[in-house]
Amino acid sequence: MTALTEVPVYGLSRDEKRPLLVEALAALTRRHAERCAPYRKILDARGGAEVKSLEDVPFIPARLFKTHDLSSVSAEETVKLLTSSGTTGGQVSRIALDKATASEQTRALVRIMQNFIGKDRLPMLIVDHPGVIQNRDAFSARGAGIRGMSTFGRDHTYLLRDADMSLDLAVLDAFLERNAGRPVLVFGFTFMVWEYLVQALRRTGRRLDLGQAVLVHSGGWKKLVDRRVDNATFKAAVKEVCGIPRVHDFYGMVEQVGSVFVECEEGCLHAPAHADVIVREPGSWAPLPVGETGVIQVLSVLPGSYPGHSILTEDLGVLLGEDDCGCGRKGRRFRVFGRIAQAEARGCSDTHAAA
């Protein structure tokens, strides 16, 4: 789709990345204006969209995907429909993917995750039940996340029972016996890992020995923050109860599948080469410098079938720097603090907890 999907995923400096990103995002803005009438009306209402810098790329609120049909392809071209995990009034985002967009998103996700967990497909524990992925044509955000991460595993083993989300210790023990002494991948949504794995094991008094495992998790922190569980507490508990030394959170959304921002070893979320992040001041929407808290805007060159290439989220965050992380990865790094006050809990973890 663009040169940005072929270069090393964290290998471009600001000066190398910016011109390519601006060019690709400007082209997507024109494409969607031509093919998506509601998006074109938004641009017309703001007087057009001349894109000369990253900050010029027009953004739309993520919430619009709940109330409008924002698609740039026909129904016949749509091969997959993703839905969000939102809870407000039962409304969900509906994201139409054509074959090319779905393929690019998958390739991009692979390139990002391999940078953190390696290229070998590892035996995989999934902290969920198999029923969540039964409909292959219309995935929820939770199901889409599991399907996407399943690419990196083998011997896929679901730890929870469908009926009551209880931990199936027999399934867990059988998996551990089959893969004793091997590296394994554990994946789950943040609240579910905490509630249905860590806390469930604590109630049984069990301690696992997963010293060669890596845990990847995502899906929102609001419900855990409400319980006074922060990132450091979460990691410490995972290591204490499960013995897992490597834990990577990631920030992403159904509106931009394939452009996830993964937490590095230094505790920073990183923008890959094909995506970026801007933090804006609420109200004025001016871009904010490093160190100032504002609303997160996410940009990605991947959404070719819908105008999701520049989205204003409902999350607060702060830029930490660019091309200067101790982990060695280039690009912008940032931290997410949580939802804007009054915004719905929309992450997979938070909406499950709310339900």
Domains of the chain: 1-355 (3.40.50.12780)
Structure confidence at residue 352 (pLDDT): 52
Question: Does the global pTM surpass 0.75?
Answer: yes
Structure confidence at residue 138 (pLDDT): 47
Structure confidence at residue 85 (pLDDT): 61
End-to-end CA, the chain = 39
Kindly report which listed range (51-55, 132-136, 274-278) carries the lowest average pLDDT score. Answer: 132-136
Helix orientation angle between 37-45 and 14-35, rounded to the nearest 10 degrees? 110
DSSP 3-state assignment of 330? coil
- Amino acid letter, 321: G
Structure confidence at residue 141 (pLDDT): 67
140: Cβ contacts below 8 Å, ≥ 6 apart: 82, 83, 84, 85, 132
DSSP 221: S
283: Cβ contacts below 8 Å, ≥ 6 apart: none
**Are the beta carbons of 144 and 82 closer than 8 angstroms?**
yes
| pLDDT over threshold 90, residue 156 | yes
Mean pLDDT in the chain? 90
Mean pLDDT, to the nearest integer, of 151-167? 92
| pLDDT over threshold 80, residue 348 | no
Mean pLDDT, to the nearest integer, of 167-172? 95
- Given the structure tokens 């904010």, which residue do they identify? 288
